[in-house]
Amino acid sequence: DEDDLDNLQDRPPVLTIMGHVDHGKTTLLDYIRKSKVAASEAGGITQGIGAYKVQVPIDGTMRPCVFLDTPGHEAFGAMRARGARVTDIAIIVVAADDGIRPQTTEAIAHARSAGVPIIVAINKIDKEGASDRIMQVMQELSSNGCQPEDWGGDVPMVQISALTGQNVDDLLETTMLVAELQELKANPDRNAKGTVIEAGLDKAKGPVATFIVQKGTLKKGDVVVCGEAFGKVRALFDDAGKRVDDAGPSIPVQVIGLNNVPFAGDEFEVVDSLDIARERAEKRAISLRDERILAKAG
């Protein structure tokens, strides 16, 4: 938008970790965040999109970035698509001992169709025999449209162990270099706009949605419309569940106060009044209903 050009400011990169089931996405993020999410997941499977703001040390200074963790299970294709849509860079994790698998190829396709740069993390290199497999994995990646930088292509590849942390600093440095080239900026001083990455119904809180703010700053008390849902933001929670007053560009935030559960993937926008929000939500509901009727008829 034109009104943004006057006040563009640096924003943290949004980095989405994608790849086949059990290739080590959550373990990688655990290492980066110094947390232990993977161990506590039911069946060891990530169920939703996790969004985390992390300070990463680069050249001795701490730099903020936002990581999205996505599930690798085949049932969660739509989530990978959503992750790819809101991300600046896709980090695709491939386990060296398992190689390219269906959800690896799917993740590559999502990143390519979203037009975002890919960085490959070849993971589990601590495993016995893994180093013998790396050439083959790189060849498989090449024949799937990911030509390694080392072979004259455009995809940086870093060999890591998410478990021991080996070379994870290299991966982060590579990622931040790619992010710097993108010159990521947004205007924090406008009505917020962004995307719903997850939503559900909480017994105590009612409809709860996780937003990624992409422009502007979302504040407590703002009126938002997202898809067919709308409402006044009653409270905002950061990725640690702590109440916050606002969230600026790139920041993931959980929102309560909506009248309904929006759809993940819906865009949200702050508007000037509840009347406007209601009207927009109703229009959207009608057009969606028409689409459904047309789809059925067609």
* Contacting positions for Mg ion (CB under 5 A): 25-26, 46
Considering only residues 135 through 164, tell me which ones interact with ligand GTP, judged by CB under 6 A: 161-163
Question: SS3 for 184?
Answer: coil
In the complex, minimum distance from the CB of residue 195 to Na ion, in angstroms, rounded to a whole number: 25
| Encoded tokens for 88 | 């600046």
Q: Closer to Na ion at the Cβ: 123 or 217?
A: 123
List 92's β-bridge partners, or say none: 18, 120
> 157 contacts which partner out of Mg ion, ligand GTP, Na ion, none, CB within 5 to 8 A by kind?
none
126 binds, among ligand GTP, Na ion, Mg ion, none (CB under 5 to 8 A by kind): ligand GTP
Q: At what angle do helices 168-182 and 25-33 cross, to 10 degrees?
A: 90
Nearest by Cα to 207 from 264, 247, 250? 264
Q: Which of 14, 16, 27, 32 binds ligand GTP (CB under 6 A)?
A: 27
Rounded Cα distance, 105 and 100, in Å: 7
Q: Which does 24 bind (CB under 5 to 8 A by kind): Na ion, ligand GTP, Mg ion, none?
A: ligand GTP
Contacting ligand GTP within 43-72 (CB under 6 A): 44-46, 71-72
Q: Which is nearer to Na ion, 48 or 265 (CB)?
A: 48
For 213, half-sphere exposure in the C-beta direction (CA atoms, 13 angstrom radius) is 30
Cα–Cα distance measured from residue 72 to residue 108, given in angstroms and rounded to the nearest whole number: 12
Is 95 or 218 the residue whose CB approaches ligand GTP more closely? 95
Burial (CB count within 10 angstroms: exposed 0-12, middle 13-18, buried 19+), residue 86: buried
- Residue ranges in contact with ligand GTP by CB under 6 A: 19, 21-27, 38, 44-46, 71-73, 123-124, 126-127, 161-163
